[in-house]
């Protein structure tokens, strides 16, 4: 029996011919170095924050991430006091 992370089929690949890091799941491809995202072969137009959030969650697939870690990892700032919570990356 596979766990959720395996079912999501996340893989980190290195494109040797173009030296780009690629995260992929099903029909979603995230080119980290080029900062591009494609779904079903079609390029998606994401803001910088949307891209950072998607890439951070993809890199941490299968683990629970607390609010504070997400704020530090994506926005690179300290979270506000009194906030909190957990997120699960499938």
> Residue 61 is part of a domain; what is its CATH number?
1.10.10.10
Q: Which domain holds residue 72?
A: 4-88
Does residue 43 surpass a pLDDT of 90?
Answer: yes
Write down the pLDDT at residue 81: 66
Does residue 42 surpass a pLDDT of 90?
Answer: yes
Write down the pLDDT at residue 7: 44
Q: Which residue has the higher pLDDT, 24 or 16?
A: 24
Query: What residues have CB less than 8 Å from 3, skipping those under 6 apart?
Result: 62
* Tally of domains in the chain: 1
If pLDDT is split at 50, 70 and 90, which confidence band does 89 have?
low
CA 55 centroid distance within chain: 3
């Amino acid at each position: 029996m596979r766990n959720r992370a395996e079912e999501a089929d996340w893989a980190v690949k290195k494109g040797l011919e173009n030296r780009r890091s690629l995260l992929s799941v099903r029909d979603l491809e995230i080119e980290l170095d080029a900062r591009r995202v494609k779904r079903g072969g079609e390029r998606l137009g994401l803001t910088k924050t949307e891209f950072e959030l998607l890439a951070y969650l993809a890199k941490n697939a299968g683990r629970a991430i607390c609010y504070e870690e997400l704020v530090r990892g994506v926005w690179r700032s300290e979270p506000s006091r009194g906030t909190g919570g957990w997120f699960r990356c499938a």
